């Protein structure tokens, strides 16, 4: 089967490589010529475990191709996946300009049947807009009788575990409105069906909504636990105990109940905002999600507040260290990362900031420039520090030599935004977690 994937970002590149691994002939297309040139040289634009060897293997087998001109690729394929970004617009709604631009480009050069599948996260009604944009361009060219279908196939992969998630998903959600589209997508996902996972076919609006509802639910669990954690601090309860206590209830389950310093990334923040805006556009207010957002924004500022309170608001000129910059472990993605909020607060307060992340240092340099010191490793970061912030729970931060860390710091204050550490008093650190 020959397919095109438009947009070679986290979703597009992983999907393309995985479909190729399953035997499809995949053409990945992006307008970013530099990115495509790099990929042709074997250079990955993102960090994602297992991705590079998979890309290499499939390029060498001539099943994975990288292109910049969609019009040249279109005649070669049956299915076109749209996987371009849908960043938040000024009012929080999803910016569909990239998606619709791709739709128009397809309409400008399509001359035989294609199935256009939206993999980007898009609000209900977008597939209809994609269809209308393609139809308009076909009509302009006098190709109004060319048939095509649209479908929705939202992606649920997690950065940091993207290849595994794509290959062994809990479920694949597919919204279709024709038997032909259903047949093509059933065939495409057949190899994965052998592994016994489910493909859930539904109507297109329900598929589009499922993606937002899933992310909104997960974000809600995180903000709910953060709210509980904050209350635990007031009343003298330990949220780690509470988490275990409620997570063992099979109706609740243990996932996404970890309190911390807020969720970030390219999906939860923007998808929650977009769902709130979709509701507003329809005259409805998502009260729960408004609160989810509020709690999250407050949570991202909590680490600085703990530090500021500890030093009685006398933090100007203090040296601090940050371990972890990416929005979560396993990725170099810093979109909406808590580290960015913390760094801004610290710099505004006149602190000197040293940072270390195993993977996201280049991305941090691109975003923050020379406003912070980039340490060579986790021990280098803490030299002379008045506080150490643990922001991203990378594995290599789990068991550092606390003796060395303490000896290097000016004052052993450890502010743990991920509640990972359980240091005995004998280590001599002042420890602050979230909700404990
Ligand atoms: N990142 C994730 O973990 C994740 C998970 C599930 C769903 N999603 C959704 O998938 C979509 C893509 O997200 P991402 O993180 O992969 O985005 P990204 O920003 O990493 O990549 C998007 C790519 O699209 C390209 N592009 C933009 N306009 C184009 C055009 N007209 N033609 C060709 N290429 C174009 C960009 O150059 C870029 O390389 C979004 O809607 C996102 O919400 C993301």
Cβ atoms of residues 114 and 148 within 8 Å: yes
Two tokens at 273?
């905002």
Cβ atoms of residues 315 and 280 within 8 Å: no
Residues with catalytic function? 267
Q: Ligand 1, closest atom to CA 122?
A: 41
Please count the CA atoms within 13 angstroms of the CA of 34 that sit on its side-chain side: 1
364: which residues sit within 8 A by CB, 6+ positions away?
Answer: 325, 334, 339, 355, 357, 372, 374
Q: CA–CA separation, 185 vs 189, rounded Å?
A: 6
Look up residue 320 and give its DSSP letter.
E
Residue 85 CA to its chain's centroid (Å): 11
What region, left, alpha or beta, does residue 112 occupy, with left being phi > 0 and alpha being psi -120 to 50 degrees? Answer: beta
The end-to-end CA distance of the chain, in Å, is 54
* Radius of gyration over every alpha carbon of the chain, rounded to an integer in angstroms: 24
Outline where 91-156 has alpha helix (H).
97-109, 126-140
Pocket of ligand 1 (CB under 6 A): 6-12, 29-32, 35, 83-86, 98, 101-102, 120-121, 155, 157, 159, 266-267
pLDDT of residue 191: 84
Cβ atoms of residues 356 and 322 within 8 Å: yes
156: which residues sit within 8 A by CB, 6+ positions away?
Answer: 165, 169, 170, 171, 173, 211, 214
Q: Which of 4, 5, 10, 68 to mutate to test the pocket of ligand 1 (most atoms within 8 A of CB)?
A: 10
CA dihedral 419, 422, 426, 429 (to 10 degrees): -10
Q: CA–CA separation, 21 vs 63, rounded Å?
A: 8
* C-alpha 86 – ligand 1 centre gap (Å): 7
pLDDT of residue 192: 80
374: which residues sit within 8 A by CB, 6+ positions away?
Answer: 354, 355, 356, 361, 364, 365
Q: Could you give the domains of the chain?
A: 2-202 (3.40.50.720), 212-299 (3.40.50.720), 302-432 (3.40.50.720)
pLDDT in tens, the chain (436 residues): 999 999 999 999 999 999 999 999 999 999 999 999 999 999 999 999 999 999 999 999 999 999 999 999 999 999 999 999 999 998 999 999 999 999 999 999 999 999 999 999 999 999 999 999 999 999 999 999 999 999 999 999 999 999 999 999 999 999 999 999 999 999 999 988 777 778 999 999 999 999 999 999 999 999 999 999 999 999 999 999 999 999 999 999 999 999 999 999 989 999 999 999 999 999 999 999 999 999 999 999 999 999 999 999 999 999 999 999 999 999 999 999 999 999 999 999 999 999 999 999 999 999 999 999 999 999 999 999 999 999 999 999 999 999 999 999 999 999 999 999 988 888 999 999 999 9
pLDDT of residue 110: 97
Two tokens at 333?
């993605």
Task: Please choose, from the candidates 246, 240, 236, 218, the residue with its C-alpha nearest in 3D space to the C-alpha of residue 416.
Answer: 240
pLDDT of residue 301: 98
* C-alpha 389 – ligand 1 centre gap (Å): 31
* C-alpha 98 – ligand 1 centre gap (Å): 9
């Amino acid at each position: 089967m020959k397919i095109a994937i438009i947009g070679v970002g986290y979703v597009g590149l992983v999907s393309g490589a995985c479909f190729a691994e399953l035997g499809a002939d995949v053409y990945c297309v992006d307008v970013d010529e530099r990115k495509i040139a790099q990929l042709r040289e074997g250079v990955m634009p993102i960090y994602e475990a297992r991705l590079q060897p998979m890309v290499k293997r499939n390029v060498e087998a001539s099943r994975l191709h990288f292109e910049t001109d969609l019009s040249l690729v279109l005649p070669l394929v049956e299915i076109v996946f749209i996987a371009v970004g849908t960043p938040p617009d000024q009012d929080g709604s999803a910016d569909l300009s990239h998606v619709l631009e791709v739709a128009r480009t397809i309409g400008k050069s399509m001359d035989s049947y294609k199935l256009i599948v939206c993999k980007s996260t898009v609000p209900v009604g977008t597939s209809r807009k994609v269809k209308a944009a393609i139809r308009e361009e076909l009509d302009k060219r006098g190709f109004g009788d060319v048939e095509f279908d649209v479908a929705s196939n939202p992606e649920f992969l997690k950065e940091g575990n993207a290849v595994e998630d794509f290959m062994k998903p809990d479920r694949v959600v597919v919204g279709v409105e024709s038997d032909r589209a259903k047949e093509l997508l059933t065939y495409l996902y057949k190899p994965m069906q052998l592994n016994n996972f489910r493909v859930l076919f539904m109507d297109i609006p329900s598929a589009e909504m499922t993606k937002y509802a899933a992310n909104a639910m997960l974000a809600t669990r995180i903000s709910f636990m953060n709210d509980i954690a904050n209350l635990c601090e007031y009343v003298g309860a330990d949220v780690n105990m509470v988490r275990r206590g409620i997570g063992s209830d099979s109706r609740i389950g243990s996932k996404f109940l970890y309190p911390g310093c807020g969720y970030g990334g390219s999906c939860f923040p923007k998808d929650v905002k977009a769902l709130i805006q979709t509701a507003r556009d329809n005259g409805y207010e998502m009260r729960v999600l408004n609160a989810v957002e509020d709690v999250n924004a407050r949570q991202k500022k909590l680490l600085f507040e703990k530090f500021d309170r500890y030093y009685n608001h006398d933090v100007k000129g203090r040296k601090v260290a940050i371990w972890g910059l990416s929005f979560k472990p396993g990725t170099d993605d810093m979109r909406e990362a808590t580290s960015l909020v913390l760094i801004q607060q610290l710099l505004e307060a006149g602190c000197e900031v040293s940072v270390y992340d195993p993977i996201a240092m280049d991305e941090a340099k691109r975003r923050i420039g020379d406003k912070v010191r980039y340490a060579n490793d986790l021990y280098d970061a803490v030299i002379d520090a008045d506080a150490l912030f643990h922001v991203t729970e990378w594995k290599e931060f789990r068991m550092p030599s606390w003796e060395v860390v303490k000896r290097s710091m000016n004052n052993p204050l450890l502010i743990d935004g991920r509640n990972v550490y359980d240091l005995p008093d004998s280590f001599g650190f002042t420890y602050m977690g979230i909700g404990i």
